[in-house]
Structure 1
């Protein structure tokens, strides 16, 4: 929280109270630089973050669903729980950072594939085969050849902020 008077980023909470309607918390804060006091209000963020599916449907972002897909892709691979957590955290930050509160599943999938490609190429291929819905062996082979050649002919994956 930045002080509205001097812009300093550190303050201390002097008093906290629930609002009369019980839908927010009122906090009196004091800037540690200029010692001026100001009031902030906190409330629960009720609008969910959404992902836009390939068919245009919107669905609530589900962190557990991302983790489940990663775990399936990485079965019997040397990928740690910390790496899972890191990828899921990056995906969640990517969705949350969206100014429209939504991201396409294709952008989310590309982000996941980019991270998996850095961590474990077999897990990457497993995830890509499901995510990109390979129809036959030729599509699978093309993806493998692209991976082996070191070229990334697809558009650059979105970077988390």
Structure 2
């Protein structure tokens, strides 16, 4: 594993243990060259998933490899300052990734991923759900928030 500090190609594993949700292995490593310590995570990848972009005309139909980090960042941004535990975010992202990998599809529309995130966030935190929806559904005016928030409140009242 390449050292993130000095870019040396060799490092030694000093400690390995499963993460709390048992979906990955956390490894503590030490660089053979500079001695710096860093952490890596190893996850099972069942298949390569390609995301088919939608939205802006210049991106429409563009394909790119699924990037777990991008998904983690957008979920974390929606949950920012909401008191949602990092473990819960990791579980949501791992669950979505697993669904995509076992779906049997090698190409997944970005809209499907957005819907899976919305489904998960709705169960975790209503404010994070509305934040994500505001970007995903491209809210442009305050009334867009009001209308969406009222549907969230109605759904909460029925649950």
1:49 aligned residue: 49
Cα-to-partner distance string for 1:113-147 (whole Å, 9 max, x where unaligned): 11111111011111111111112122211111110
* Partners of 1:63 and 1:88 within 8 A in 2: yes
Larger-gyration structure (1/2):
1
SS of the aligned residue for 1:140 comes to helix
Q: Describe the superposition over 1:10-67 as per-residue Cα deviations: whole angstroms up to 9, x where unpaired.
A: xxxxxxxxxxxxxxxxxxxxxxxxxxxxxxxxxxx8x731111112211110000000
**8 Å contact kept, 1:95–1:102:** no
Q: Normalising to structure 2: TM-score of the pair?
A: 0.62
Q: In the aligned structure 2, how far is the partner of 1:103 from the partner of 1:136?
A: 30
Query: How many residues in Structure 1 have an aligned counterpart in Structure 2?
Result: 106
CA RMSD in angstroms comes to 1.7
After superposition, what is the alpha-carbon deviation per residue over 1:77-110, rounded to whole angstroms, capped at 9, x for unaligned?
1111111111111111122123231211111111
SS of the residue corresponding to residue 80 of structure 2 reads coil
Indicate the residue corresponding to 1:82 in structure 2: 87
- Give secondary structure in 1 for the equivalent of 2:108: strand
Of Structure 1 and Structure 2, the greater helix share is in 2
The answer to whether residue 141 in structure 2 is matched with residue 136 in structure 1 is yes
